[in-house]
Amino acid sequence: MIIATAGHVDHGKTSVVRTLTGIDTDRLKEEKARGLTIEVGFAYTNLNDQRIGFVDVPGHRRFISNMLAGVASIDFALLIIAADDGPMPQTVEHLEILQMLQVQNGAIVLTKCDLVSDARIEEVQADIRRLTENTFLDQAFIWPVSSATGAGIEALKTGLATASAKIRRQAQHGYFRMGIDRSFAVKGAGQVVTGSVLSGTLSTGQAIRVLPAAETLRIREMHTQDTVTQEAVSGDRCAINLGGYRSPPQRGQWLTSNPELTGSDRFAATLTISKHRTRALRHWTPVHFHCGVNHVTGRVAILESARLEPEQQGYVQIALDEPVPLIHGDHFIIRDQGAEETLGGGKVLLPMDEARGRTQPARIARLKVLNSDDALAVRIADFAEQFPQGIPTALLVSSFNLPAQVLQRELGQAFNIDDIWCISTHNFEKCQQLVTRTLTDWQAANPQESGVTPQQLRRACKINEVVFSQVTDQLAASGALKISGNRIVPAGHSAQLSGPAASLWKRTEPLLRADPLRPPVLHDLSRTLGLPPRATEKLLGQVVGAGLLVKPVANRFFLPEAIESLKDTIRELCAASPNGSFTVIEFRDRTNLGRNLCIELLEYFDGRGFTVRQENVRKLQATRRT
């Protein structure tokens, strides 16, 4: 169990931890000299066979950002209050911060009881009950102790051990994620970073990414709860010896195994204004933003009104001056421009939000779905359903910190999801109906044309390329439409050619079938047919429109099956290559075609979205349009 202490400066937080563990968490010279905690301190002990870690956070107002980093991921909070002073300003502020960060478990320690009378202790306990009413510490146990005399310490140890035995961490299926709150060099070992594991699992030897540098590092050795381990899991307090970096990772950076997670400088959230604030929060207020180990400045855009009153909750967009790697469900605190007052706290709903602008009802509807009390799988499904044409899988992976295969398992049969795109089956069926209806209407309005190009049909349907490709592939497989060359035609449609075009096609087809991969150029073909090149091109254009021919280059006509044969050759080249790529020369050697013709054909396939050029090689495009 990881316990965070919180409370006013000089109320005995560090003394309580030292008495319980024998470890002085004031490790900096400045802390020793001034008698207050500046950085977050850590200590560990065993209480009745329970391994317990303590996070001693600063109480002084100036060091509130370090306090917020310390309580980012804890199991239990100890609110420390001195019996002689009673609740003080930082007591109130720390309690509110713990409440806003949705800490669930905790208790209160009443310190310095040797300095006051029993009557004073009872008086302070009554003040504490009023302070903690309607918070997570409402009715929490209060332990009177004295670090100086040891009174009450054994009872406190027993109580903490009992609480530790009852707390059960939920299994985390997401990617590993940890904010770095300390970074230092160890002689003979190299760079070590520490932090609280927010999600997932990490093993020794595993590769890990550091953000925002986006470097991939190696895990040399790990300690959790001050013990060498081979694995760290969500909720652990972890120290990691890293290797493979160009520059040492620093405090405020993040470690993650999520390949899609990046920094966000604009996110949507729900925000609750502090009940202690005396005036409303106005739109576009400059703030200090605290989330885990991050402290950056930004502004708050209120989405449904011009202001939020004290204790009022609303939907906001927060624009940050620096990107932060956020995920759905992260809790945060905002403070005023002078970093003197806590303005409120909230929860990240959509880490990568759209650009600011007029707030549409659909946008608020999505945020309400994400802010519901439903299970995470239900929230993800309801959110994804809000997008008629689906959303990139990478956006879901980044936002919810879950691998694509886990998302598929959680979403079930109600969604089509792969490494590229996610769309509900309901919305996918609506897209299929739209494509079928649009194709039928287009053919009826253009009886002289035999089919429509994929680009024309997609633009008419206003569907993105990814979904359009999937829709037309499935409709073609089911026989609902036919893809012939560069044309899409309705099911059962037969090509209709004019008399001259039909006559010319009858004479041309045998010439092309004689050597499908090497059709004659237009001028040679025209000479053989005994027609001017312009007339030949015009009539064969009708044949192309009927889907019986393809014109991939300027001066040659190919049979559709020849184009498919060339595609098969490209697939074979990619399959045989270790990195799935091929060169123009390899394509030329496999097909025995001229180099210039090979270049023209490959440019055609690039333009059709079948291949993609990367410098001097080509690969199959991940999502192919045709």
| Residue 41: per-residue pLDDT | 63
Whether the CB-CB separation of 334 and 289 falls below 8 Å is answered with: yes
| Residue 485: per-residue pLDDT | 62
* CA atoms of 389 and 226, how far apart (whole Å): 49
DSSP 57-122: ---SGGGHHHHHHHTSS-SEEEEEEETTT-S-HHHHHHHHHHHHTT---EEEEEE-GGGS-HHHHH
Residue 172 lies in a domain: no
For residues 162 and 29, membership in a common domain is answered with yes
Q: Name beta bridge partners: 2.
A: 53
| Residue 321: per-residue pLDDT | 96
Residue 66 lies in a domain: yes
Domain boundary among 121, 141, 166: 166
| Residue 28: per-residue pLDDT | 38
For residues 269 and 237, membership in a common domain is answered with no
DSSP 3-state of 231: strand
| Residue 70: per-residue pLDDT | 55
| Residue 33: per-residue pLDDT | 44
Q: pTM here?
A: 0.78
Q: Does residue 362 or residue 111 have the better pLDDT?
A: 111
Whether the CB-CB separation of 387 and 366 falls below 8 Å is answered with: no
Sign of CA dihedral 463, 465, 466, 469: positive
Whether the CB-CB separation of 128 and 44 falls below 8 Å is answered with: no
Residue 495 lies in a domain: no
Segment 376-384 mean pLDDT:
94
**What is the number of structural domains in the chain?**
6
Given a cut of 50, whether residue 517 has pLDDT beyond it is yes
| Residue 626: per-residue pLDDT | 44
For residues 557 and 473, membership in a common domain is answered with no
What does pLDDT average to over the chain? 88
For residues 22 and 151, membership in a common domain is answered with yes
Give the CATH number of the domain where residue 332 resides.
Answer: 2.40.30.10
* CA atoms of 384 and 366, how far apart (whole Å): 9
| Residue 589: per-residue pLDDT | 96
- Long-range Cβ contact pairs of 436-445 (< 8 A, separation 24 or more): 436/475, 436/480, 436/481, 436/490, 439/481, 439/488, 439/489, 439/490, 440/490, 443/489, 443/490, 443/493
For residues 33 and 142, membership in a common domain is answered with yes
Q: Which domain holds residue 400?
A: 364-422
Residue 483: count other Cβ atoms within 10 Å of its Cβ.
17
Structure tokens at 184: 């230092």
Q: What tens digit of pLDDT does each residue of 445-483 get?
A: 876 676 788 889 999 999 998 899 899 989 988 989 887
Given a cut of 80, whether residue 372 has pLDDT beyond it is yes
For the chain, what percent of residues have pLDDT higher than 90? 59
What confidence tier does 75 reach under pLDDT thresholds 50, 70, 90? confident
Residue 357 lies in a domain: yes
**Total number of residues shown for the chain:** 626
* Edge-first strand listing for the sheet containing 415-417: 391-392, 421-424, 415-417
Q: Does residue 239 or residue 347 have the better pLDDT?
A: 347
What confidence tier does 533 reach under pLDDT thresholds 50, 70, 90? very high
For residues 291 and 353, membership in a common domain is answered with yes
DSSP 178-205: EE--EEEEETTTEEEEEEEEEESEEETT
For residues 162 and 309, membership in a common domain is answered with no
Segment 146-150 mean pLDDT:
94
Give the CATH number of the domain where residue 133 resides.
Answer: 3.40.50.300
| Residue 30: per-residue pLDDT | 41
What confidence tier does 491 reach under pLDDT thresholds 50, 70, 90? confident
* CA atoms of 303 and 551, how far apart (whole Å): 52
For residues 439 and 407, membership in a common domain is answered with no
Structure tokens at 420: 């590229």
Given a cut of 60, whether residue 595 has pLDDT beyond it is yes
Q: Does residue 190 or residue 264 have the better pLDDT?
A: 264
| Residue 37: per-residue pLDDT | 34
Given a cut of 90, whether residue 18 has pLDDT beyond it is no
Q: What tens digit of pLDDT does each residue of 27-68 get?
A: 434 433 433 333 456 677 888 777 787 877 665 455 456 656
Task: Supply the DSSP symbol for 355.
Answer: P
Segment 368-392 mean pLDDT:
94
* CA atoms of 510 and 519, how far apart (whole Å): 11
In terms of Cβ atoms closer than 10 Å to its own Cβ (0-12, 13-18, 19+), residue 112 is buried
For residues 418 and 551, membership in a common domain is answered with no
Q: What tens digit of pLDDT does each residue of 291-326 get?
A: 988 999 999 999 998 999 999 999 999 999 999 999
Given a cut of 80, whether residue 328 has pLDDT beyond it is yes
Q: Does residue 531 or residue 169 have the better pLDDT?
A: 531
Given a cut of 90, whether residue 188 has pLDDT beyond it is no
| Residue 103: per-residue pLDDT | 87
First to last CA, the chain: 55
Radius of gyration of the chain, Cα coordinates, nearest whole angstrom: 33
| Residue 36: per-residue pLDDT | 36
Residue 295 lies in a domain: yes
* CA atoms of 354 and 185, how far apart (whole Å): 40
| Residue 64: per-residue pLDDT | 58
In terms of Cβ atoms closer than 10 Å to its own Cβ (0-12, 13-18, 19+), residue 250 is middle
Whether the CB-CB separation of 18 and 5 falls below 8 Å is answered with: no
Residue 626 lies in a domain: no
b/e code 327-342 from CB counts within 10 Å (16+ = b) = bbbbbbbbbeeebebb
For residues 467 and 530, membership in a common domain is answered with no
For residues 239 and 268, membership in a common domain is answered with no
For the chain, what percent of residues have pLDDT higher than 70? 90
| Residue 31: per-residue pLDDT | 32
For residues 369 and 404, membership in a common domain is answered with yes
DSSP 3-state of 147: coil
Residue 91 lies in a domain: yes
Whether the CB-CB separation of 331 and 345 falls below 8 Å is answered with: yes
Q: Which residues contact 289 (CB under 8 A, 6 or more apart)?
A: 295, 296, 297, 298, 318, 320, 324, 332, 333, 334
What confidence tier does 494 reach under pLDDT thresholds 50, 70, 90? low
Residue 625 lies in a domain: no
Give the CATH number of the domain where residue 483 resides.
Answer: 1.10.10.10
